[in-house]
Amino acid sequence: MVLFTKWDRFSRNAVDAYQMINLLRKMGVEQAIEQPLDLSIPENKMMLAFYLAAPKVENDRRALNTMHGMRRARKEGRYMGTAPFGYMHKTTEDGRKYIAINEKQAAVIRWAFHEIAKKAFNTESIYVLAKKKGLTVTKSGFWVMIKNPLYCGKIFILKYKDENSYFVTGQHEAIISEELFNQVQEVLDGRSRVYRPKIVTFTLKILHLEIINSKPRR
């Protein structure tokens, strides 16, 4: 015997629920529930279908409401998610969460953007130097960071159905200017291509030479 209170507790997926019910029936296992159904009566299978489909509909509706709520918040300029490098989470007196600049991390970001815009060294070399200055993101994370319009005060709204993608001004404080951000994007896209030497770090080794039976040449 399998004991549960409601059909929506039995499974949140109708297909899986039907498969399990058939399996239990073949094994001769009964279901004990507050909403008993005699499945030997054909009409009760319609009621079972409703009970099993309701949780899936509820989950889909909750997910859709969450997605619409987050999209609405982004349109209002509010950043949703974990604070990226350079920012930290804070809460207003009325309980609303927002991101504020982490000045120590922001200084590293400003330095990296300015160095890329100067085109003096390639991006990989700037990443290595930024790590020494306190950057904690991975190399792939660094590439995402220098392409993220969040740092110049913009939030990207993804395309959804008939609505095209676009940018909105965020409620958070920008770390760099929009002009600097665009300059960096031009460098990354190759529209401002120049030769950028790569910084190579190496260890100097002292070579000990021993001269055996050396004679001056005549």
Question: Residue 24's domain spans which residues?
Answer: 7-76
pLDDT one-digit tens code per residue, 1-15: 555 656 666 666 666
Answer yes or no: is 57 within a domain: yes
Whether 24 and 111 share a structural domain: no
Q: 140 and 92: one domain? A: yes
Question: What pLDDT shows up at residue 25?
Answer: 73
Question: Is residue 58 included in any domain, yes or no?
Answer: yes
Q: The domain that contains 123 carries what CATH number?
A: 3.90.1750.20
Alpha helices in 11-102 (DSSP H): 14-26, 44-75
* 99 within a domain of the structure (yes/no): yes
Q: Work out how many domains the chain is built from and give that number.
A: 2
67 and 92 inside one domain = no
CA angle 153, 158, 162 (to 5 degrees): 135
102 and 183 belong to one structural domain: yes
Q: What are the backbone angles phi and psi of residue 64, rounded to the nearest 5°?
A: -65, -40
* Residue scoring higher pLDDT (125 or 202): 125
Of 15, 44, 76, at which residue does a domain stop? 76
Residues 116, 34 within the same domain: no
Q: Identify whether 61 is part of a domain.
A: yes
Please tell me whether residues 109 and 169 are part of one structural domain.
yes
pLDDT tens digits for range 10-45: 666 666 777 777 787 777 776 666 667 776 787 777
Distance CA 37, CA 53 (A): 15
Q: Counting every residue, how long is the chain?
A: 218
Q: Quick one: pLDDT at residue 6?
A: 65
Of the two residues 29 and 158, the one the predictor is more confident about is 158
CB of 44 within 8 A of CB of 38? yes
| Residue 136 domain-assigned (yes or no) | yes
Same domain, 131 and 49: no
Domain assignment present for residue 200? The answer is no
175: CB partners within 8 A, 6+ apart: 86, 101, 106, 109, 110, 151, 152
Structural domain contains residue 202? no
* 70, 99: one domain: no
pLDDT tens column, 166-178: 999 999 999 999 9
- Please check whether residues 68 and 119 belong to one and the same domain: no
Residue 196 in any domain: the answer is no
Separation CA 126–CA 115 (nearest Å): 7
Regarding whether 69 and 93 lie in a shared domain, the answer is no
